[in-house]
């Protein structure tokens, strides 16, 4: 029986996962790494940390399971999106990766819009110019680190740097490329218009493929480092959100899902290319060939809870602080949390947005603050769901994934706030699982992505909304949404004070 390997290069660690042809998880392993914050709004990682963690995770997976490497039919790759990894001589990074949550390229986004026009960018790239995306980071590199820019010979994305060290080949896929602002998302190819307008050397960009396509194989040197068999096929893969959507079975027209990881994502699949006129929802080519998706992203979802745990409940588990949050009443007795700890993308597209507790009184304790974080993140996700519903998509049920939805309390808050049934599935392994399913398509274990989903994914629970609680959430939601516009000018002033 073949096994399928999925590898996810995440924000805080690499995960390796093996599944069989029924989607049963055979083994998992993970290795952690950190990232640097060299200034306000900045985030960087050493790409070699990804490869070191990947090697460790694969070796642990093989050593602690009974799976022979020869059983692995194919490898699927996924990972964090939008990073800038500039390669120089000998395919080595010229500097650390500028990550997806980095906000430094604000001026470059304005320059891109002046040069190309906002409407044209949205029509071609499916999204406006924001500092999270790859092209603005490249223009920042050109302006601020000319020596690094001059040394650049290739651009790759996060998972594709791991591919390079795993296989020796440069390649990417239509989904991950959709997040660069250099890609024609509707046509599923690099955009001559955007590339020429931004004067990016075409030779820097790797070949692009559909996500399940086999494009390379494990090299002899990587086989020695990982324990895999040389020649094991490796597919193109995709970004983490599309892989997660495949793992949730969100591949059909107008299906909708929510993921609560470090970021929070509202994801809707389509059978044709659609853009959101204002660019508030971002369009991508889906990992399923012939499909596209719109995605709304809040930058600090689970990261907001992690931040509060680290500064206000150090050493405690998420399960412990979730139980503590349940001690506070819904609405937290008038306490709100704005989860803009790293700026925001959807719906505000404001890198200078800042987090805040609003409404603190002597009455409030730590349980109120924890629950306010859960509710504030959920109101942020509601902003994305409302945009989806503006397109005429009712989304009466939402498939959910990510660490946040392990909490029954948070699932109930989601149901009551979003006004929808919250559906969990047998899949709890996130993007690595979707990458493994795509590997199965590439290897011929499954006929296509739809076949893979039918074989592997089953519903496990539904959380129904409480109509009384939902009505109260709707009232509080209006007050919560009024806070950002009321505080935006002050947020921008504070962001300016923090800029060196």
Residues annotated as catalytic are: 240
Q: Are 411 and 425 in contact (CB under 8 A)?
A: no
Virtual torsion, Cα 200, 206, 211, 215, nearest 10 deg: 170
- State how far the Cα of 284 lies from the Cα of 289, in Å rounded to an integer: 12
- State how far the Cα of 80 lies from the Cα of 100, in Å rounded to an integer: 7
């Amino acid at each position: 029986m073949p096994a399928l390997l999925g590898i996810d290069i995440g924000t805080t660690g690499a995960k390796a996962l093996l599944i069989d042809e029924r989607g049963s998880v055979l083994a998992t392993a993970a290795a952690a790494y950190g990232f640097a914050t060299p200034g306000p709004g900045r985030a960087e990682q050493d790409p070699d940390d990804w490869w070191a963690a990947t090697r460790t995770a694969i070796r642990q997976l093989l050593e602690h399971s009974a799976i022979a490497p020869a059983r692995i039919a194919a490898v699927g790759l996924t990972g964090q999106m939008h990073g800038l990894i500039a390669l120089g001589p000998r395919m080595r990074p010229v500097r650390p990766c500028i990550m997806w949550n980095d906000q430094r390229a604000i001026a470059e986004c304005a320059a891109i819009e002046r040069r190309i026009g906002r409407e044209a960018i949205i029509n071609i790239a499916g999204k406006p110019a924001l500092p999270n995306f790859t092209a603005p980071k490249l223009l920042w590199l050109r302006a601020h680190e000319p020596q690094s820019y001059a040394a650049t010979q290739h651009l790759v994305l996060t998972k594709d740097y791991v591919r390079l060290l795993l296989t020796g080949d440069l390649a990417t896929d239509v989904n991950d490329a959709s997040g660069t602002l250099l890609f024609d998302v509707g046509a599923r190819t690099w955009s001559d218009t955007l590339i020429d307008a931004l004067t990016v050397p075409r030779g820097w960009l790797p070949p692009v493929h559909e996500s399940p396509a086999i494009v390379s194989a494990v090299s002899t040197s990587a086989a020695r480092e990982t324990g895999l068999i040389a020649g094991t096929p490796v597919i193109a893969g995709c970004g983490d959100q599309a892989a997660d959507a495949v793992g949730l079975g969100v591949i059909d027209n107008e299906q909708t899902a929510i993921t609560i990881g470090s970021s929070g994502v509202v994801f809707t699949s389509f059978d044709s290319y659609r853009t959101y006129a204002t660019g508030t929802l971002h369009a991508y080519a889906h990992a399923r060939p012939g499909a596209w998706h719109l995605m709304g992203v809040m930058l600090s979802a689970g990261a907001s809870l992690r931040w509060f745990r680290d500064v206000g409940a150090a050493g405690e588990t998420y399960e412990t602080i979730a139980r503590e949050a349940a001690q506070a009443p819904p609405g937290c007795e008038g306490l709100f949390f704005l989860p803009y700890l790293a700026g925001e993308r959807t719906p505000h597209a404001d890198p200078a947005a800042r987090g805040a507790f609003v409404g603190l009184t002597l009455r409030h304790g730590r349980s109120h603050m924890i629950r306010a974080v859960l509710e504030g993140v959920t109101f942020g996700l509601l902003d994305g769901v409302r945009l989806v519903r503006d397109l005429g998509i009712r989304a009466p049920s939402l498939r959910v994934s990510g660490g946040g939805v392990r909490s029954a309390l948070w699932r109930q808050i989601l149901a009551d706030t979003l006004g929808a049934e919250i559906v969990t599935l047998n899949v709890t392994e996130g993007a690595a699982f979707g990458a493994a399913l795509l590997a199965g398509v590439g290897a011929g274990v499954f006929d296509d992505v739809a076949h893979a989903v039918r074989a592997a994914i089953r519903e496990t629970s539904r959380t129904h909304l409480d109509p009384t609680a939902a009505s109260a959430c709707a009232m509080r939601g209006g007050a919560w949404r009024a806070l950002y516009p009321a505080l935006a000018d002050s947020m921008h002033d504070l962001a300016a004070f923090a800029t060196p």
